[in-house]
Amino acid sequence: MIRIAIIGAGISGLSTAYAIQRQAEVAGLELETTVLEKKDRIGGKIWSIKDEGYLCEWGPNGFLDNKPMTLELCDRLGIRENLERSNDNARKRFIYSENLLHQLPENGPSFLKSKLISWPGKMRLAYEMLVPKKTDPADETLADFGRRRLGAEALDKLIAPMVAGIFAGDPETMSLKSCFPRIYQLEQEYGGLIKAMVRLAKQKKAERKAGKAVASAAGPGGVLTSFVAGIQELTDSTSGALRGEVRINAGVAAIVPKDGGYEVRLEDGSSFDADVVVSAAPSHTLSGMLREADSALSQILDEIPYAPMNVVCFGYQRDKIAHDLDGFGYLIPKKEGRSILGTLWDSSIFPERAPEGHVLLRSMMGGATNPGAINLSEAEVEQGVKTDLRQIMGIDAEPDFVRIFRHEKAIPQYTAGHGKRLLGLDERLNAHRGLFLTGNAFFGVGLNDCVNSSNQIADRVIADLRERVLGP
């Protein structure tokens, strides 16, 4: 019997275990999987917390439906009928700048009317058509790309808030190729972003004629999708579909090569042998597990930084908030000097997130540009959010509900050189047959990225096992 250890019971670990189980059946391989989770619950960063009639997401609140990976997993689990698409009005997204909330333009005319970008800034954006394509192969940061192609104002008011919203990151350090490979490809293929938009607009027109949904230009592609009971239904259902063992309170201390496989040593002093080990643990945690086996591999993993984050949920009676909540929420440029990165109007996105007659607002504080926020007291965090909500949305009322969730290492940062680090990991892993890495530290931080990476790792695991059983 082939034994496979999967470290980490977040969406990456659970979906990897499920994909291996499914593919092993097709391949006719008999194997036994054991998922090891250090915490006392499964789900990793996914945790839907129900409290006083509110539904607060401890981490991510959903996935975009423009890619098939997670939807296909839901189909296989039989839970697609439980999916909930975000309210159509949630496509309205805002940027707070110069004491005003500006709706992100959805088309050319609305962009020209918008006061978010000044006229000199708009002219600089139009100049993008004349900016030559970058041919230097060096890994460019998002900030350098933004200034080069779009100008400093667009960087500050458009790119930087977007990077904060997705990665909690700093564009001055983040890699364009690793964070937004599609944007990099558009410049290389079409010579510029506006040129690419013109060419791709023809394709979108054809899609509209064919009856296909086309995403708003203002937001990311696809519609934010979750479950009525919260995104935790995804990890709960994936775990429930596994035939192998899922062990909580089972932290791994070390992974040590042994007899063509691995000895997995647990923090409680016990151990067991495995033919294959798949790690879905955070890179900084995995580093410690591999330090004895391969210090060079461990060092590369240590080079992937993480940004801290405070997630702050406030619940209010709806009639105590005069501000319109018709939208997704807003992000805040760093230059505005606010305590928070932005606020999502959660109960406008998914109506069941608050009791009848109430609303739920979820604010993010910290990130790579404000790492010290993780060390603030509960009172300081709460006061900082209250102050920003009062000045931005005019909310003077005290919240009826407050929950603060702290993530000391919330989101991995794909800083410049991330691609080289991945190549270095591959090179070191060549010396460790049967050891595989997945998770959001490598090829994408979103749920779709994690599920896609899990499927790819499962393919590689099954191919490796087939070769062992049947030969090359």
Q: Write the CA distances from 365 to 228, 256, 380, integer angstroms.
A: 26, 39, 11
Q: How far apart are the first and last CA of the chain?
A: 20
Compute the average pLDDT of residues 334-348.
96
Identify the pLDDT of residue 107. Answer: 80
Specify the residue for token string 């458009």.
158
Residue 229, judged by CB atoms within 10 A of its CB (0-12, 13-18, 19+), counts as: middle
**Structure confidence at residue 349 (pLDDT):** 96
Cross-strand pairs, 84: 226
Tens of pLDDT, residues 275-318: 999 999 999 999 999 999 999 999 999 999 999 999 999 999 99
Burial bucket for residue 410 (CB in 10 Å: 0-12, 13-18, 19+): buried
Residue 64: pLDDT band (50, 70, 90) is very high
The pLDDT score that the predictor gives to residue 201 is 81
| 27 vs 317, residue with greater confidence | 317
Tell whether the model's pLDDT for residue 79 goes beyond 80: yes
What pLDDT sits at residue 219?
Answer: 44
- Which residue type is seen at 44? G
pLDDT of residue 114: 94
Q: In the predicted model, what is the mean pLDDT of residues 85-108?
A: 90
Per-residue model confidence as pLDDT tens digits over 307-339:
999 999 999 999 999 999 999 999 999 999 999
The rounded distance, in Å, linking the Cα atoms of 305 and 241 is: 33
Model confidence, pTM: 0.92
Tokens 């006083």 belong to residue: 52
Q: What mean pLDDT do residues 199-215 have?
A: 68
Res. 467 pLDDT band, cuts 50 70 90: confident
Residue % of the chain over a pLDDT of 90: 88
Nearest-10 crossing angle of helices 11-27, 232-240 = 40
The pLDDT assigned to 333 comes to 94
Mean pLDDT across the stretch 249-260? 96
| pLDDT bucket at 47, cuts 50 / 70 / 90 | very high
SS3 for the chain is CEEEEEECCEHHHHHHHHHHHHHHHHHCCCEEEEEECCCCCCECCCCEEEECCEEEECCCCCEECCCCHHHHHHHHHCCHHHEEECCHHHHCEEEEECCEEEECCCCHHHHHHCCCCCHHHHHHHHHHHHCCCCCCCCCCEHHHHHHHHCCHHHHHHHHHHHHHHHHCCCCCCEEHHHHCHHHHHHHHHHCCHHHHHHHHHHHHHHHHHCCCCCCCCCCCCCCEEEECCCCHHHHHHHHHCCCCEEECCCCEEEEEEECCEEEEEECCCCEEEECEEEECCCHHHHHHHHCCCCHHHHHHHHCCCEEEEEEEEEEEEHHHCCCCCCCCEEECCHHHCCCCCEEECHHHHCHHHCCCCEEEEEEEEECCCCHHHHHCCHHHHHHHHHHHHHHHHCCCCCCCEEEEEEEEEEEECCECCHHHHHHHHHHHHCCCCCEEECCCCCCCCCHHHHHHHHHHHHHHHHHHHHHHHHCC
CA distance 333 to 340: 10
Please work out, in degrees rounded to the nearest 5, the angle formed at the alpha carbon of residue 233 by the alpha carbons of 407 and 81: 140
pLDDT digits (tens, 9 = 90+) for 162-195: 999 999 999 999 999 999 999 999 999 999 999 9
pLDDT at 220: 54
The whole-chain average pLDDT of the chain stands at 94
Nearest to residue 165, comparing CAs of 379, 328, 284?
Answer: 328
Beta strands at 63-64 and 224-227: parallel, antiparallel or unpaired: antiparallel
Q: In this predicted structure, what is the pLDDT of residue 210?
A: 65
On the question of pLDDT at 218 being above 50, the answer is no
Distance CA 16, CA 6 (A): 8
User: Residue 11's closest CA among 311, 434, 446?
Assistant: 446
Digit-coded pLDDT (tens) for 442-462: 999 999 999 999 999 999 999
pLDDT of residue 302: 97
Domains and CATH numbers, the chain: 2-44+233-304+415-470 (3.50.50.60), 62-89+306-412 (3.90.660.20), 106-214 (1.10.3110.10)
